[in-house]
């Protein structure tokens, strides 16, 4: 593939000859100009104004039917036999003395051809032929900060109308780079979470649909594990009841697994299974009244929002064990008497009936131009996420066989996919697990929720190149890459490359490709911890430079790309959001960083955290300086300038926060030494340090509070936890003073730890 044209994502096949700078001034549409094509033309016109001719000749002719004519021959049409080419593929060609021609079987394919052509305008290309289609039917990023759970990353605190305008721009970018799935909200189906919620979601979903993009939300169809996380779940948690709304509660199915146990692979299998959890939480499949209660909430949500995709969780179970089915209630036993989890009158048949009913009901929703049967994708995950590192090969095969049987028994399967977590290779044999999934699940699509860094799960780095490993998941229908929020726009475009063309990039391909589980994890974690930084991506003129030039223009792109290349001593990133895995303890944003009441913490652990805060501060300071200088100087699109000013503001807040965290942890270290050694000679110094940091914390709180004016999101949008973090430091420095006075490591007046119970 010729890289000289910097087309992103890389087309699957392109031949070309050098010519003069390509000029496109007019376009002729042969066929129906749908909303999707209108939006694509609008994106094209913004960068290269076109005159729309009523008939040929024109510089570009778009055909929305794939048939032979004076411009398209039988050889061209062979592309549409490839997988996914019939719905999203296109032919884009220019022959000597003829206009540029775009041909596709769908309006979306035509739009994608037009978006590729836009990247060729102005390039020195003469005759060329492009045959193109995606490797994955659904290709997604997320616009959330807390993994898939929530926080609207594009809410900059400037009100509803500015939020909506910003989202339209970002959707245009998705169309331009062939992203057709966005995880934009979670977790739950409450349409009243704040007054404007339904109107905003409907606006976003309608705008997305007009660009061939599906907006995705997540929530439970049963199980309701996250209800234990308080208001993080924005919906109802239904219990199994004899009648509704408040009949007798009874137990049925429950999760039955051992993924949460330490060293699970070293424990005898029979001892790994520790019992059932959550058996009363909406898990009964035979309870018709329960099903109706769920449908009321779900149908209301679909109708009010026009949502494009729902990712359902059932049981929050990583594995599917046969024992799971044995816990079913008497009514379920009567309806499905077989204890075999694969049987039609057993567990697989029960889930198939439940899913088929759910699909039929939700696809029956119609509202104006919205037709859920056509416009709504449904994804069902668990029991059995089959998470690669947690689930051994035997349990993986059991889980895939189970879902293969479920899908075999479905009576409804339109726009339905079985969902799993990311899968790599078998642990004991050198075969990609995706091959087994493709073999077993033939009556439905398959999808993967791909957590591969910069995702609010592993870490919150601004950039990691892990999507280049997508080739190992080839065979899935859809990949929803759970990364790419508003701080990570270059990552969104990088992901787009490997979602469209996962193993033939013109920019960077993993070489040599891992051939085993161990080899794969070595590369995967090397990319995560920043020890693997391929020059094709990070180097001068590499992929990050190209991407940032596309996003921010020739004049400023390469300078701005340095932000996403920043890396501290141990892989520490710049911090753009106060709620960030990299500065929180235990890789979770529920427990705040470096609480003073942590039991048994060691000086080594404290020192590691102290160094991390210092490195994060250095990286964030550098990111702030770059963003500040460019945002002030930037003289291009005013909306992009506003984005850059906001990004600089985020780094400004977080550089101050990281400096405080470093200073606080230094005090923490000194005070811990006093308690460990019973030597209080540093007490005067510590008291002086606390007196010094207190006014700095107050100043930070005032500064952070002044930045969040009018958030749309219930949780504060991209400014989430700025103030909370300052209050956290303010409180624990007070407790440190109390510890010094009482000489108690954990004083009596410490507030209880806010625990979050699963189930």
Burial 188-216 (b: 16+ CB within 10 A, else e): bbbbebeeebbebbbbbbbbbbbbbbbbb
User: Predicted confidence band at 262 (pLDDT cuts at 50, 70, 90)?
Assistant: very low
Rounded to whole angstroms, the Cα distance separating 309 from 205 reads: 10
Strands 124-132 and 90-94: antiparallel
Among residues 393, 359, 356, which one has the least CA distance to residue 373? 359
Share of the chain above pLDDT 70, in %: 94
Q: Specify the pLDDT at position 318.
A: 83
In the structure, what pLDDT confidence band is assigned to residue 682 with cuts at 50, 70 and 90?
very high
Categorize the per-residue pLDDT at 264 as very low, low, confident or very high, splitting at 50, 70 and 90.
Answer: very low
Average pLDDT for 16-36: 94
Q: pLDDT for 28-75, tens place per residue?
A: 999 889 999 999 999 999 999 998 877 768 999 999 988 888 899 999
Q: For residue 677, what pLDDT band results from cuts at 50, 70 and 90?
A: very high
pLDDT the model gives residue 706: 84
Using the predicted structure, report yes or no on whether residue 614 has a pLDDT greater than 80: yes
Helices within 591-706 (DSSP H only): 603-633, 638-677, 683-705
pLDDT, residue 52, reads 85
Closest CA to 219 of 312, 140, 282, 118: 312
pLDDT digits (tens, 9 = 90+) for 407-435: 999 999 999 999 999 889 999 999 999 99
Q: What is the per-residue pLDDT for 260?
A: 44
Calpha distance 69→61 (Å, rounded) = 12
pLDDT at 657 over 50: yes
Mean pLDDT for 452-478 is 94
Torsion of CA 569, 573, 574, 578, to 10 degrees: -120
Q: In the predicted model, is pLDDT for residue 752 greater than 80?
A: no
pLDDT digit string, tens, across residues 684-743: 999 999 999 999 999 999 998 887 678 999 889 999 999 999 999 999 999 999 999 999
pLDDT at 175 over 50: yes
Looking at domain 3-132, which CATH architecture does it have? Answer: 2-Layer Sandwich (3.30)
How high is the pLDDT of residue 436?
A: 95
pTM of the model: 0.95
Q: Output the CA–CA distances (angstroms, integers) from residue 321 to 317, 325, 389, 605, in the order listed.
A: 10, 8, 17, 37
Q: What is the pLDDT of residues 184-242, one digit of tens each?
A: 998 899 999 999 999 999 999 999 999 999 999 999 999 888 776 666 788 999 999 99
Burial of residue 259 (CB within 10 Å: 0-12, 13-18, 19+) is: middle
Most confident of 18-22, 387-391, 588-592: 18-22
Residue 530: CB partners within 8 Å, gap ≥ 6?
461, 464, 567, 571
CB 187 within 8 A of CB 148: yes
CB neighbours of 404 closer than 8 A, spacing ≥ 6?
440, 441, 442
The answer, yes or no, to whether residue 259 has pLDDT greater than 50, is no
pLDDT one-digit tens code per residue, 356-404: 999 999 999 999 999 999 999 999 999 999 988 888 899 999 999 999 9
Strand, helix or coil for residue 181: strand
pLDDT at 698: 97
Question: Is the pLDDT at 255 greater than 90, yes or no?
Answer: no
Average pLDDT (538-544) is 97
pLDDT band of residue 261 (cuts 50, 70, 90) is very low
Torsion of CA 672, 677, 683, 687, to 10 degrees: 10
In degrees and rounded to multiples of 5, residue 98 shows phi and psi of -120, 160
Q: Could you tell me which CATH class the domain 138-502 is placed in?
A: alpha beta
Mean pLDDT computed over every residue of the chain: 92
Structure confidence at residue 263 (pLDDT): 45
CB proximity list for 431: less than 8 A, separation 6 or greater: 425
Phi-psi sector, 410: left (phi>0), alpha (psi -120 to 50), beta: beta
Q: What percentage of the chain has pLDDT greater than the value 90?
A: 82
Task: Decide if pLDDT at 265 tops 60.
Answer: no
The owner of tokens 């050889």 is 75
Residue with tokens 């223009």: 553
Q: Check whether 759 has a pLDDT greater than 50.
A: no
Q: Distance (Å, rounded) from C-alpha 325 to C-alpha 332? A: 10
Q: For position 755, what pLDDT does the model report?
A: 59
Segments of 399-508 assigned E as strands: 416-421, 445-450, 478-481
Instruction: Report domain extents, the chain.
Output: 3-132, 138-502, 566-742
Long-range Cβ contact pairs of 396-402 (< 8 A, separation 24 or more): 396/423, 396/426, 396/433, 396/436, 397/436, 398/319, 398/320, 398/321, 398/322, 399/319, 399/320, 400/436, 400/437, 400/440, 400/441, 401/342, 401/440, 402/320, 402/341, 402/342, 402/347, 402/348
For residue 266, the model assigns a pLDDT of: 46
Tell me what pLDDT residue 229 has. 64
- Confidence label for 590 from pLDDT (cuts 50, 70 and 90): low
Neighbouring CB atoms inside 10 A of 656's CB total 21
């Amino acid at each position: 593939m010729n890289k000289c044209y910097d087309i992103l994502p890389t087309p699957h096949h392109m031949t070309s000859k050098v010519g003069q700078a390509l000029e496109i001034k007019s376009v002729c549409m042969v066929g129906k100009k749908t909303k999707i094509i209108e939006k694509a033309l609008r994106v094209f016109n913004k960068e290269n104004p076109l005159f729309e001719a009523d008939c040929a000749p024109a510089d570009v002719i778009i055909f929305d039917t794939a048939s032979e004519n004076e411009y398209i021959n039988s050889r061209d049409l062979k592309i549409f036999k490839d997988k996914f080419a019939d719905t999203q593929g296109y032919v884009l060609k220019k022959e000597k003395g003829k206009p540029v021609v775009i041909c596709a079987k769908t309006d979306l394919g035509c739009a994608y051809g037009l978006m590729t052509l836009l990247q060729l305008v102005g390039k020195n290309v003469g005759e060329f032929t492009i045959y193109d289609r995606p490797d994955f039917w659904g290709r997604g990023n997320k616009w959330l900060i807390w993994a898939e759970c929530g926080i609207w990353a594009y809410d900059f605190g400037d009100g509803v109308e500015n939020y909506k305008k910003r989202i339209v721009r970002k959707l245009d970018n998705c169309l331009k780079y062939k992203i057709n799935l966005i995880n934009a909200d979670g977790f739950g189906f409450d349409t009243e979470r704040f007054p404007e919620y339904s109107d905003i979601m409907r606006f976003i979903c309608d705008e997305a649909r007009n660009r061939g993009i599906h907006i995705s939300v997540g929530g439970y169809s049963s199980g309701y594990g996250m209800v234990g996380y308080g208001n993080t779940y924005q919906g109802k948690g239904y219990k199994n009841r004899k009648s509704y709304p408040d009949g007798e509660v009874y137990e049925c199915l429950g999760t039955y697994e051992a993924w949460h146990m330490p060293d699970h692979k070293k424990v005898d299998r029979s001892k790994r299974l520790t019992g059932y959890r959550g058996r009363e939480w909406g898990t009964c499949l035979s309870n018709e009244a329960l099903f109706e209660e769920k449908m009321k909430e779900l149908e209301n949500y679909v109708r009010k929002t026009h949502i494009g995709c729902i990712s359902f969780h059932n049981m929050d179970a990583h594995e599917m064990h046969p024992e799971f089915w044995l816990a079913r209630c008497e009514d379920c036993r009567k309806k499905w008497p077989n204890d075999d989890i694969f049987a039609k009158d057993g567990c697989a048949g029960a889930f198939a009936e439940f899913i088929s009913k759910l699909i039929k009901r939700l696809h029956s929703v119609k509202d104006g131009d919205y037709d859920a049967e056509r416009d709504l994708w449904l994804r069902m995950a668990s029991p059995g996420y089959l998470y690669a590192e947690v689930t051994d090969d035997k349990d993986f095969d059991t889980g895939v066989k189970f879902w293969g049987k479920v899908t075999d028994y479905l009576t409804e399967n339109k726009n339905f996919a079985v969902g799993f977590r990311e899968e790599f290779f078998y642990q004991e044999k050198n075969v990609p697990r995706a091959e087994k999934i493709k073999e077993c699940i033939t009556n439905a699509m398959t999808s993967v929720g791909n957590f591969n860094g910069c995702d609010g799960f592993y870490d919150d780095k601004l950039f990691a190149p892990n999507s280049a490993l997508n080739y190992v998941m080839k065979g899935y229908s859809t990949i929803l890459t759970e990364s790419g929020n508003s701080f990570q726009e270059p990552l969104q475009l990088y992901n787009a490359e490997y979602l469209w063309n996962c193993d033939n990039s013109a920019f960077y391909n993993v070489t040599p490709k891992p051939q085993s589980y161990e080899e794969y994890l070595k590369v995967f974690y090397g990319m995560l911890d920043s020890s693997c930084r391929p020059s094709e991506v990070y180097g001068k003129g590499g992929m990050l430079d190209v991407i940032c030039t596309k996003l921010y223009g020739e004049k400023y792109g390469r300078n701005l790309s340095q932000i996403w290349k920043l890396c501290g001593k141990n892989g520490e990133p710049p911090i753009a959001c106060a709620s960030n895995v990299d500065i929180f303890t235990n890789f979770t944003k529920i427990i705040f960083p470096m609480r003073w009441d942590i039991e048994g913490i060691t000086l080594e652990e404290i020192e590691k955290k102290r160094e991390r805060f210092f490195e994060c501060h250095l990286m964030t300071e550098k990111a702030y300086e770059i963003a500040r200088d460019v945002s002030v100087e930037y003289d291009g699109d005013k909306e992009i300038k506003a984005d850059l000013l906001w990004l600089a503001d985020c780094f400004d807040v977080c550089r101050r926060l990281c400096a405080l965290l470093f200073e606080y942890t230094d005090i923490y270290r000194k005070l811990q030494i006093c308690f460990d050694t019973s030597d209080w000679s540093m007490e005067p110094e510590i008291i002086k340090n606390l007196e010094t940091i207190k006014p700095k914390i107050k100043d930070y709180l005032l500064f952070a509070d002044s930045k969040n004016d009018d958030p749309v999101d219930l949780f504060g949008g991209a400014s989430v936890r700025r103030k909370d973090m300052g209050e956290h430091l303010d409180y624990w420095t007070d407790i440190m003073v109390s510890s010094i006075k009482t000489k108690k490591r954990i004083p009596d007046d410490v507030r209880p730890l806010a625990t979050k119970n699963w189930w």
